[in-house]
Amino acid sequence: MGREIDLLENYPKAKRNVDERGQTKTEEDRAIARRFGKEFFDGDRRHGYGGFSYQSRFWQPVIPTFQRHFGLTEKSSVLDIGCGKGFMLHDMAALIPGITVAGLDISQYAIEKAMEDMKPYVRVGDARSLPFPDKTFDAVICINTVHNLEREECGKALREIERVSRGGSFITVDAYRTEEEKRRMYNWNLTAKTIMSVDEWVAFFREVGYTGDYFWFIP
């Protein structure tokens, strides 16, 4: 199995008032967010990002970490599952000229609004059934996405990551280590359907045969 490693250590950390957000979120807000449409990306902050636009300060500091970890070169290929509007892939293609990139997202809206230079490389698709042959990519990256599925379907997505990867993969999922973190996570969460403790996640990875690397999102 892979290892716990924070490949997003250089991603800027937002200042969040988790308890305040938890008090203002309703089940209706979560239902709207889980449509992953305009409301989630560019609507009211209660339903998601509250405006999802490209800013170089987010992914540019992270790409060198990915590059070192996976040994990426201009001959490499990378898949981003849950690519949104293609911001991370845009920066990867810019910082590693010649690299082959591909992105997949469940959101028709996000793909339609993708960055112009990434539109040829991103498509609407489902993490549970990736539209690629076995062992297509040198690295598969999936940030805060597979946990948006029910537990059994989350397992399907992880097995799909295994199938299309040549051996390199990295995911992040909603998790907790303490009861206080669990309380805050359930209050904070908008879209995740599978939230487990870090130990439960590791056991789940073994159960479904996921051998890639991983880290946690804990607000």
Looking at residue 181, which CATH number applies to its domain? 3.40.50.150
Tokens of 112: 């339609």
Beta bridge partners of 171: 142, 214
- 179 in a domain, yes or no? yes
- 4 in a domain, yes or no? no
Helices (H), 25-86: 27-33, 38-42, 56-59, 63-70
- Assign 80 a pLDDT band (cuts: 50, 70, 90): very high
What is the tens place of the pLDDT at every residue in 135-176? Answer: 999 999 999 999 999 999 999 999 999 999 999 999 999 999
- DSSP summary character for residue 13: P
- 11 in a domain, yes or no? no
- Can you spell out the DSSP letters for 140-205? EEEES-GGGS-HHHHHHHHHHHHHHEEEEEEEEEEEESSHHHHHHHHHH-SS-S--EEHHHHHHHH
How far apart (Å, rounded) are the C-alpha atoms in residues 158 and 139? 14
How far apart (Å, rounded) are the C-alpha atoms in residues 153 and 25? 25
- 201 in a domain, yes or no? yes
Mean pLDDT of the chain: 95
Query: Which structural domain, as residue segments, surrounds residue 95?
Result: 18-217
- 166 in a domain, yes or no? yes
Element (H, E) at 207: helix 198-208
- Which pLDDT does position 17 carry in this prediction? 57
- Can you spell out the DSSP letters for 71-82? T--TT-EEEEET
Asked if residue 18 has pLDDT above 60, the reply is: no
Output the pTM of the full model.
0.95
Number of domains the chain is built from: 1
What is the tens place of the pLDDT at every residue in 179-212? Answer: 999 999 999 899 999 999 999 999 999 999 999 9
Tokens of 160: 């799909």
- 172 in a domain, yes or no? yes
DSSP β-ladder status, 100-105 and 165-176: unpaired
Distance of CA 209 to the CA centre of its chain: 19
